Structure 1
Amino acid sequence: MLQLIQFLVAAGTLAGYTVQGLSTFQWPNQLLDYADHQLYEGTMDGLVEGCTPRVNTPRDNTTISAQWLRLAYNDMSTHNVDDGTGGLDASIMYELDRAQNVGEGMVQSLQDFNGLAIIAPFFGMADSIALGAVFAVKGCGGPVIPYSAGRIDATAAGPPTVPQPQQNLTTHIELFRQQGFNETDMIALVACGHTLGGVRQVDFPLIVTDTSIDVDTFDTTPAFDNTIVSQYLQNTTQDVLVVGPNVTTQSDLRIFSSDGNVTMQSLLSADTFSDTCATLLQRMINTVPSAVNLTDPITEPFQYVINDPLFSYQNGTFNMITALRVRKTYLYSSQCECYSDLVMGRPAGGSFCPSTGCSKQSSSTQPVFFTVFGEAQGFTASRYLFNATINSTSSISKFWFEINNNDGSDPVVVDNGGSGFVIEQDPSLSLFVDAMRSELIFSENSGGFIAFLKVLGDAASASASMTAFSPFSTAISPPFTPTTTSINLELDETNPPEGGFTFFTANSSISGSFLDLTANVGSTSFTVENFNLAFAVSSFPSIVISS
């Protein structure tokens, strides 16, 4: 029979929430967890917030937002709705030699995403490009576009189907149809895209013929607004694709007027423009090959998000370190469940969970600083850290939380839809990264990681290896693709076997944000996949030693 260990931790209050919200995903779901983190706690918005033109930089007189949005559309434009191929799949990295993709902004944007180092084994360049598009729009004052993840990066170029200004209206209508957009969609999508940025003279000298102009902007505001529409309808537009000297390249004029300006008239309403653009741009970034399945859209920060548990073993006890991010602020408790029928060679009989065996008050509370999305939606959150002590003769099977508003109401149980947060490793925790002992050494050519292996027999029969996934490509130009490095771990002589565990270590120049670990003990193999080292460092800096 399982013994329950319960404890309460006070951490603040919030009225109005009494049941677990539907905006919480079934754990574990590493992709949704990571997408939520990048959308609401990531670093991408720092490059586009405020929509300020980058003057006296390599991006003179334009905005990063305009470049990111153009990159996303041009990448998506390879889609063919008739056979389900192409779409937003990062094939743009292999298409930069084409005339329609001319411009340093394309390379600079891809360098941005590479430099941000947010790519993961399950979150590639295509997901980053799509994420950049929604940040680009919101950073310039536009609508919040619901974001879905799960794209698969292409490994080769797609067809050259990006519409070009010199093409006629019939061609444009057909190209947009192939992408999945009808004529009305085409008109609105062009207006939504051309509210940002403009045409650079050096890239399109036949369109911008005045060599004294660097970037000929589509309208008079850098913001994401419907000025592009109002100035067109009032005949005050400066859009060079409407009033430019080359009639052949007046593509915006042909597109905007193709239905007698009916669609453009409807977009004179700021609310209609915003809503229409949000819908069309969401469809745009979700235009992917038919075999790709995206997650449900994330429309707000998840109500509850936990960190994958981290473990350490010292002095005969396990420490389990985790955190709960809660939208708003609550009083909460946490519970865990211990094994009474012991396994993996430990003596059976009775429960080994003492009254304090699985419980400890929260070690600290961290404020969560949401990106422009969370701020725009009016959300706040806090993250509560736990360091629970577990007797080494027992082990943990699952844990959950109770939220107590301290107002007489029943506590809210956050238990992963009734199943609890189950520890994925077997109950004896055969293999894990020891969070307390591990070191991340910040130097030019070295790094260190220590793995932790439960050996059931002779330690000499055990071996361990590690593969590190690095999101950052050292290539000087696209394509930017992540790298992986494999290394064998060695017995750690500075940490002798203790409590039936053997320590392995790796000291090398590898760097990575995710680790896959494998240990072999005789004929038995244990694995840990996608250990999020970067998340551990950012969430628990006190447990990672740096020098």
Structure 2
Amino acid sequence: MARLSPLLCTLLLVTIASVLGFTVPTKINYTWPNPQYDALEKLLYEGTRLDGLSLSDSVSGCKSRDGQEGRGTGNVAAEWVRFAFHDAITHNIDDGTGGIDGSLFHELDRDENRGQGMKDTSADFLKFAGRFVSRADIVAMGAIFGMSSCGGQNILPYGGGRVDAQKAGRCGVPVVEQSVDQFTEAFRHLGLNSSQAIALTVCGHALGGVRSVDFPNIVPPSSDPHQVIYRNFDTTPQFDSRVVTEYLDGTTQNPLVVNANQTVTSDKRLFESDGGAAMRVFQNAGDRGFKIACREAYRVMINTIPAGVSLHQIDILPAKVIEPQITIENGELIFKVDLRLTQNLTQPVPLDRTITLKWCDKRGSQSDCNGRVNTAQFAARSQPTQTPVTDQLGLSFYSYAFRVAIDIQTSVGKFWFVVDNNDGNSPTTYNNGGANYDFQQDSIIFLPRMSQTKNAGKTLHKMVVGVRIPLVSTRVYMKTYEVAKSNTEQPQEKSTTLSLDGTIPPQKGYAFFSGDVSANLLGLTIDIGVDTLDQSYKEEYLNARVLGCQAGIIAPTTVSTA
């Protein structure tokens, strides 16, 4: 460890924590419900947005754009890292503006941001920017996925809460023709000195390379117009120190070091600016030291944000409550909830594990657990996906689904879970830090089984909600929140007033309201609300699914009392 100390002193960049613009995520005590935390946690550790579409699948296994693992014609991880760097580097330490704020989505027409990889990456990320997850948070997460998927160190902790810029920021991304002084000034705006600038550059070029179609001044194109020539920064597809060792032993083919066009050898000029001292420190640290240094360099990069923005740390949840809701399925009033448990990969999943859902009546003579606690066992088990980040942590997930038939006269109040692995140890109770999970919903409920898509383009939908009788409504409505559709548009919010639906008879204590909603369901989140003569009710749904009346359900479990 002693030989790492020079690296830790000069290149780990830990001291930059005091620099304006670099933010250390604040650790918070998670309490349910927290929709933004839940959405970011799911994306970071399961790799998917709320409806299951995967972000991490695009990069896992160090994929290339041509679908082949390894080098191919454009390493996805390298493109995602480059995107994050270009968003961060336009930070201005002098006035606290810029950094990773998503302004890059408004700047892709600039020559400093050219390249098909930038366009591909923006398309990758846009599908995941919505109500609870900003584009800027996805850009930072993409850098984490990129490094982790190709063998680099996890850049944890990750902080969420970045705020998207609504317009382009300043220019300032370094270009290969610039002098060392110009490079140094660009990195100074980011808050880095010359040694730290070398560190971030070499760490950024541990992956990827240059395509002739994007930069013909760096990689001359082939005489065959259909052939794209791709020159890599080093000879391995993984995140390792080969970019350093090949530079120092003279075998490098990095086109920014070895090139007939000397005006584009920016890496060479930068690496030689201190006589090669920084590169030798990297070499002496070995591959492990290099990865540790780059983890810290990337941490500074993704946490460089505009002044006034704060980040909250997104830790993996040992137990996570997923989408509790009341709805009607197959003529039954159903309470649905899933519990996701985090599992250490080195430990076997207990085969005889029992998980008990417990809840109090919401109303009636035995409300608030006054004389009765309802219980039910899970109806099905599944295994959610995981990301390169979760893999490096040595963790996976198991999810347990509960589907319980209830009566509107008693409904569901507070609930909690008891997990017994039947291994001789005491059961574990998950109860939201002692407060239990306080379930407020049932005055107005969403009915995805009764809702239906009305056109071939799947953009017009009849949405149905139930309002509990005897509430007298003055207004019933649905708000929809779509994912972003283009680089310059923000996620769209719409409000639709719903009317009493005479085609659906009241049942299970509810009257039904419906309306035609124009929206793309992919990634859609909704609110439903009802205003009465003396009170308003609103329910927040993380994910809207229109399933139609044909879909089947998991059979309700038997309810017992204790």
Distance 1:315 1:168 in 2: 70
Does residue 1:39 correspond to 2:55, yes or no? Answer: no
Q: Secondary structure at the match of 1:170?
A: helix
> Which residue of the partner structure matches residue 6 of structure 1?
none
Match of 1:421 among 413, 437, 454: 437
Structure 2 vs 1, CA of residues 515 and 351 (structure 1 numbering), >3 Å: closer, same or farther? closer
Q: Secondary structure at the match of 1:338?
A: coil
> Which residue of the partner structure matches residue 358 of structure 1?
374
> Which residue of the partner structure matches residue 337 of structure 1?
360
Match of 1:141 among 127, 131, 151: 151
Match of 2:319 among 304, 311, 314: 304
Question: Number of paired residues?
Answer: 499
Match of 1:193 among 201, 204, 227: 204
Does residue 1:27 correspond to 2:42, yes or no? Answer: no
Distance 1:316 1:447 in 2: 22
> Which residue of the partner structure matches residue 270 of structure 1?
287
What is the 5 A alignment of 1:470-485?
Answer: 470-473=482-485, 475=486, 478-479=487-488, 481-485=490-494
Distance 1:447 1:389 in 2: 27
The answer as to whether partners of 2:448 and 2:463 remain within 8 angstroms in 1 is: no
> Which residue of the partner structure matches residue 496 of structure 2?
487
Q: CA deviation at 1:158?
A: 0.4
Instruction: Tell me the TM-score normalized by structure 1.
Output: 0.83
Structure 2 vs 1, CA of residues 311 and 123 (structure 1 numbering), >3 Å: closer, same or farther? same
The answer as to whether partners of 1:80 and 1:86 remain within 8 angstroms in 2 is: yes
The answer as to whether partners of 2:359 and 2:373 remain within 8 angstroms in 1 is: no
Q: CA deviation at 1:382?
A: 0.8
Q: Secondary structure at the match of 2:339?
A: strand
Matching residue's letter, 1:505: S
> Which residue of the partner structure matches residue 16 of structure 1?
none
Distance 2:367 2:233 in 1: 71
What is the 5 A alignment of 1:52-201?
Answer: 52-55=63-66, 61-114=73-126, 117-146=127-156, 147-201=158-212
Deviation per CA, 1:337-362: give whole Å up to 9, x if none: 2245x5xxxxxx55597998733221
What is the 5 A alignment of 1:396-415?
Answer: 396-415=412-431
> Which residue of the partner structure matches residue 543 of structure 2?
532
Matching residue's letter, 2:464: I
The answer as to whether partners of 2:130 and 2:484 remain within 8 angstroms in 1 is: no
> Which residue of the partner structure matches residue 296 of structure 2?
279
The answer as to whether partners of 2:332 and 2:508 remain within 8 angstroms in 1 is: no
Q: CA deviation at 1:248?
A: 3.1
Structure 2 vs 1, CA of residues 543 and 79 (structure 1 numbering), >3 Å: closer, same or farther? farther
Q: CA deviation at 1:331?
A: 3.1
Aligned-residue identity in percent: 33
Which of 238-247 and 479-488 deviates more? 479-488
Matching residue's letter, 2:265: Q
Does residue 1:394 correspond to 2:403, yes or no? Answer: no
Q: Secondary structure at the match of 2:185?
A: helix
Q: CA deviation at 1:162?
A: 0.7
Deviation per CA, 1:138-190: give whole Å up to 9, x if none: 22222222232211111100000111122222222222121122222211111
Distance 1:297 1:173 in 2: 33
Distance 1:405 1:66 in 2: 42
Q: CA deviation at 1:82?
A: 2.3
Structure 2 vs 1, CA of residues 407 and 46 (structure 1 numbering), >3 Å: closer, same or farther? closer
> Which residue of the partner structure matches residue 253 of structure 1?
268
Matching residue's letter, 1:360: A
The answer as to whether partners of 2:358 and 2:376 remain within 8 angstroms in 1 is: no
Does residue 1:432 correspond to 2:437, yes or no? Answer: no
Distance 1:325 1:56 in 2: 31
- Structure 2: which 5+ runs fail to align? 1-26, 49-53, 344-348, 555-562
Which of 222-231 and 520-529 deviates more? 520-529
Distance 1:190 1:406 in 2: 52
Instruction: Tell me the TM-score normalized by structure 2.
Output: 0.81
The answer as to whether partners of 2:129 and 2:138 remain within 8 angstroms in 1 is: yes
> Which residue of the partner structure matches residue 5 of structure 2?
none
Deviation per CA, 1:225-274: give whole Å up to 9, x if none: 11110001111111122222233332212222233323212322111111
Q: CA deviation at 1:364?
A: 0.8
Q: Secondary structure at the match of 1:289?
A: coil
Q: CA deviation at 1:74?
A: 0.5
What is the 5 A alignment of 1:444-523?
Answer: 444-445=457-458, 446-458=460-472, 461-473=473-485, 475=486, 478-479=487-488, 481-498=490-507, 500-512=509-521, 513-523=524-534
> Which residue of the partner structure matches residue 15 of structure 1?
none
> Which residue of the partner structure matches residue 385 of structure 1?
401
Structure 2 vs 1, CA of residues 361 and 210 (structure 1 numbering), >3 Å: closer, same or farther? closer
Distance 2:330 2:306 in 1: 53
Distance 1:222 1:238 in 2: 14
Matching residue's letter, 1:454: R
Which of 31-40 and 197-206 deviates more? 197-206
Q: CA deviation at 1:439?
A: 4.7
Distance 1:314 1:92 in 2: 45
The answer as to whether partners of 1:353 and 1:391 remain within 8 angstroms in 2 is: no
> Which residue of the partner structure matches residue 14 of structure 1?
none
Match of 2:240 among 205, 218, 225: 225
Q: Secondary structure at the match of 1:309?
A: strand
Structure 2 vs 1, CA of residues 442 and 25 (structure 1 numbering), >3 Å: closer, same or farther? farther
Structure 2 vs 1, CA of residues 355 and 448 (structure 1 numbering), >3 Å: closer, same or farther? farther
Matching residue's letter, 1:243: V
- Structure 1: which 5+ runs fail to align? 1-21, 343-348
Distance 2:519 2:56 in 1: 29
The answer as to whether partners of 2:355 and 2:378 remain within 8 angstroms in 1 is: no
The answer as to whether partners of 2:81 and 2:204 remain within 8 angstroms in 1 is: yes
Distance 1:297 1:497 in 2: 43
Distance 2:67 2:415 in 1: 54
The answer as to whether partners of 1:184 and 1:263 remain within 8 angstroms in 2 is: yes
Distance 1:267 1:169 in 2: 20
Distance 1:210 1:457 in 2: 71
Distance 1:160 1:174 in 2: 13
Match of 1:290 among 307, 310, 317: 307
The answer as to whether partners of 1:357 and 1:390 remain within 8 angstroms in 2 is: no
Distance 2:410 2:368 in 1: 5
Matching residue's letter, 2:358: Q
Q: Secondary structure at the match of 2:528?
A: strand
Q: Secondary structure at the match of 2:323?
A: coil
Distance 2:503 2:278 in 1: 72
Q: CA deviation at 1:365?
A: 1.0
The answer as to whether partners of 1:316 and 1:391 remain within 8 angstroms in 2 is: no
The answer as to whether partners of 1:334 and 1:401 remain within 8 angstroms in 2 is: yes
Q: Secondary structure at the match of 1:240?
A: coil
Distance 2:338 2:219 in 1: 54
Q: Secondary structure at the match of 1:267?
A: helix
Q: CA deviation at 1:130?
A: 1.8
Q: CA deviation at 1:499?
A: 5.5
Structure 2 vs 1, CA of residues 23 and 296 (structure 1 numbering), >3 Å: closer, same or farther? closer
